[in-house]
Structure 1
Amino acid sequence: MATPQTSSTAQTAAQSLKEMGNERYQSKEYQQALNIYSRIIYDYGANTDVPRHLLAVVRSNRAACYLKLRSFLEAFQDCAQVLEHAELRPERDHALFLKMVHRAARSKYGVSDLEAADRYWEQYRALGETDPIGETPVPAEPKLKQKQPSAPPPPSSPALRSINYRIQVFTDEAAKLPDKGQFVYNEQMPADMFGTNRTPGKAETLFLDSLVRKHDAEVRGKRRWRCWNCNKKATSMTHTPATYMGENPPLILDYCLPVCQVRRRCDKEARKMITHDLSMAQSLTPRRR
């Protein structure tokens, strides 16, 4: 069993990851930065030893990544959580509020919600529009709503939504790694997939297959993995993605086991074990690559 992190250890770990994410962002590696910020939120979001202000800054930084990746809805969700945080105050956290209001305006503009974007722009002006925050200006200030309301949203906005695809390598070996064998990716999927009142069909199955194929080689190449069962050199990974559409943003959690050979005993036992352990998970679909 892993030793619980002390207050100072948890805060130091979160701060170290944040700095790593900032470096990726400065290098314009926005997806990698987003993955790191997401990991901080997943690992430390409920940890009372990590300062709430630090987590607010991390969420602010993730919103900036979402904007760079044109995931406007997800960017606004992070902005809203920071702006509504009970422990933050404009007079005390002026710089952070200024950034988040500006990013909220850009998020709303990105989905052509011009009236809401204009409200955030006016709030930004009230906070201090001349402050040097290093942001791209909101288009068409000061009255965004003067733009034609019939202007179409970006092509991807109405049809796609962002999801987090998290691969968890489920072995003792992975648990000892700095990243705990966890790999997080921000992906987009058709908005009408995995509806709450429908059984996953061919389209959903193909989508899960595509995610597995897209990231399998990268995960296999991260380390010289050993088979989870016999400890021989692993040549493949057994993937079992489960969907959690009730999360915000939606989550696809892929439990993954390294295996020595496909379609042999270790592979079959891996799929059997994970399927049994996760039999109650929503939309569970075994995958192998």
Structure 2
Amino acid sequence: MRVPYKVNLPSGDRYAFIKNTLGTRELHTVCEEAHCPNVSECWESGTATFMILGSNCSRGCRFCAVTHGNMLPLDPDEPEKVYESAKLMGLDYIVITSVDRDDLLDKGSSAFANVIKMVKELKIKIEVLIPDFSGNHEDIDRIIAAKPDVIAHNIETVQRLTPLVRDPRAGYNQTLAVLEYIKKKDHSIITKSSIMVGLGETDIEVEKTMKDLRNAGVDILTIGQYLRPTKKQLEVKEYSPMSRFKYFEEAGYKMGFSFVASGPLVRTSYKAAEGYVKMRGKYD
């Protein structure tokens, strides 16, 4: 099946500088690990997404290109490395995400919180895209207490397809529970989630997922086309037309989301800063 969407190859002085900076510090970005099509656009605009807790994930979701298994020790210098890199890059908005670390007692939440606290010294806006920490409130509380500006956690797909698409440890209802808990614990934190289409879901199922997210208090929603990273991942069932994305965008605003980014190449961190600005009037 031919991909109908086109994106320019990564380029630009700032893109090259950021790529070199990351390489010299042995840091990882989900932009590269997950083969994001927007990497050049985001990096050139002053936004980058760092992936912490190593490059190997303890889970094996069937849509994801990130390496899983063979878990390595945490890097004790990671908070300083992220801080120095963000400072050198002159970032205006940073997104921090991580692999899942089910092998660790606290699922890596303490290390995650330490990175947030360190980067906060730069006085830039911080968005985090967190794992579910198996729904453990104590681990989630560490992230909330670190006070990022936005906390994102992705539901990824509709309920029916969750067992096929996501790792068995990543449940649909667990994701909703995590998002709802964050909003109830600290209403000032902006919450965010993302849905992929093209895996065989119906419009009705997508709309139900959107309503479930809104009922969980989610403020920002992104919807994008699933693009198969390699032949090891799930096949694309359908490439959605722009009209479908436009329909979901309009439906999302009607449901009460404060910002909706919906399009073929939209990913969780795409236009992250713009989504924050849309919400800022309520919280700043």
State the TM bucket, normalised to the shorter chain. under 0.3
TM-score (norm 2): 0.25
TM-score (norm 1): 0.25
The structure having more radius of gyration, on CA atoms, is 1
Higher relative CO (CA 8 A, sep ≥ 6), structure 1 or 2?
2
